[in-house]
């Protein structure tokens, strides 16, 4: 994250605020890391049914992959209209076209937002079929592309009592960490984070290699997506 951190720190002029204490800094949202987070239109499963993350508030019950419904403790948001310059291309979101992962409309993913994927190769090589990977590995799929975000977009980070994997209405599973979105900038203490999840987290290069080999093993992108959609639907049925 050092390149992304440096780029965004320069964009928001972080060094102009050296006197801000850690917790005072966290009470602002001027320092969001827009390489992670969930875009407003993403539909999450909640106790009240599917709901755009932009309408999820503190106290709402959101469906998690491991622990069922869990209350949201805090929501951090950033409206892109607040940026004083253009967003660095390294932080541009990925556009997922309608239908690719069962989504009725196009969706957007922050490039460093962690996703939980189910992988046959991961089960063989790592001993667990579930792995956490940065969303930008989906750039392997020709249907997925980087796009400049519209100025009206808002990105959100949901925080729970512990790290949670929230479930989207199309079966996608997204990581929500307990540490603040500001932690990337100032090297904040590890004790500010809750216990880590037990899933293996792969860096981009390893995740890209594994996904590339699994696509080849499955017989191509179409066959791989068909398998993935089937598994996502199975998880949705369990969650429902």
Dump pLDDT digits (tens) for 53-83.
999 999 999 999 999 999 999 898 888 887 7
pLDDT for 28? 41
pLDDT for 139? 92
In 3D space, the residue among 197, 218, 224 whose CA is nearest the CA of residue 115 turns out to be 197
Q: Which long-range contacts (CB under 8 A, 24 or more apart) does 14-17 make?
A: 14/185
* Token output for 31: 């320092």
User: Cβ of 27: how many Cβ atoms within 10 Å?
Assistant: 9
Alpha-carbon span 166 to 63, nearest angstrom: 6
Tell me the mean pLDDT in the region 23-44. 67
Output the pTM of the full model: 0.79
Among the listed ranges 31-35, 179-183, 235-239, which one has the minimum average pLDDT value? 179-183
| pLDDT exceeds 60 at position 170 | yes
Model confidence band, residue 183 (pLDDT cutoffs 50, 70, 90): low
């Amino acid at each position: 994250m050092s390149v992304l951190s440096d780029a965004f720190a320069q964009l928001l002029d972080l060094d102009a605020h050296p006197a801000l204490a850690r917790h005072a800094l966290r009470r602002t949202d001027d320092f969001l890391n827009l390489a992670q987070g969930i875009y407003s239109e993403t539909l999450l499963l909640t106790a009240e049914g599917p709901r755009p993350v932009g309408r999820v508030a503190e106290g709402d019950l959101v469906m998690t992959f491991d622990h069922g419904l869990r209350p949201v403790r805090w929501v951090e948001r950033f409206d892109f209209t607040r940026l004083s310059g253009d967003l660095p291309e390294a932080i541009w979101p990925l556009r997922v076209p309608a239908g690719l992962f069962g989504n009725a409309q196009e969706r957007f993913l922050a490039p460093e937002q962690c996703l939980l994927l189910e992988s046959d190769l991961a089960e063989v090589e790592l001993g667990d079929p579930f792995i956490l990977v940065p969303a930008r590995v989906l750039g392997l799929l020709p249907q997925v592309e980087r796009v400049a975000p519209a100025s009206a977009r808002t990105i959100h980070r949901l925080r729970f009592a512990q790290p949670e994997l929230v479930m989207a209405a199309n079966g996608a599973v997204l990581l929500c960490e307990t540490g603040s979105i500001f932690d990337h900038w100032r090297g904040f203490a590890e004790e500010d984070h809750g216990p880590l999840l037990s899933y293996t987290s792969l860096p981009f290069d390893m995740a890209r290699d594994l996904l590339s080999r699994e696509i080849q093993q499955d017989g191509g992108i179409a066959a791989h997506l068909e398998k993935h959609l089937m598994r996502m639907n199975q998880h949705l049925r369990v969650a429902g």
